[in-house]
Amino acid sequence: MLQQTNMELEEKLNGQTSIKKTHKEECLIERKEIEGTPFTMIRQEIVENKPEWFIVMGNHRLTEPTTSEETQLEKLVNDYWKIVVNVIAIVIEKYNQTKTQEYEMAKKELAASMAMD
């Protein structure tokens, strides 16, 4: 269902194209914002002349890789609800992470204030 993108995509890129070292190989990565959406189309070429395309939101992959950009755009239209469910799962995951961090911080602050008394 929901998959994290590869490590080389977790770093936000300011440019459209980047070359990253991955698994002792060079990997060409191209990012294209999908207008009117919070999504980005990624083209990565690990094996020369065999690009893979997929859609991400942040550092989360929303679609499985295919060999063409057009196929990914079709998935965005035809598999819209799958993508919406994945986005909801991402939002819930981020919300839970935030709440857990807030809880841990409050617990530490309470322990520190009790130690001072």
Distances (CA, A) of 67 to 46, 52, 64, 70, 71: 12, 5, 10, 9, 8
Domain count along the chain: 1
| 8 Å CB contact between 16 and 31 | yes
What span, in angstroms and rounded, lies between the C-alpha atoms of 88 and 76?
A: 15
Residue-number span of the structural domain to which 53 is assigned: 3-116
| 8 Å CB contact between 44 and 27 | yes
Backbone angles phi, psi at 65, to 5 degrees: -65, 145
Q: pLDDT (tens digit, 0 to 9) for every residue of the chain, 117 residues total?
A: 334 344 433 343 434 444 444 444 566 889 999 999 999 999 998 777 788 999 999 989 999 999 999 999 999 999 999 999 999 999 999 999 999 999 999 999 999 888 886
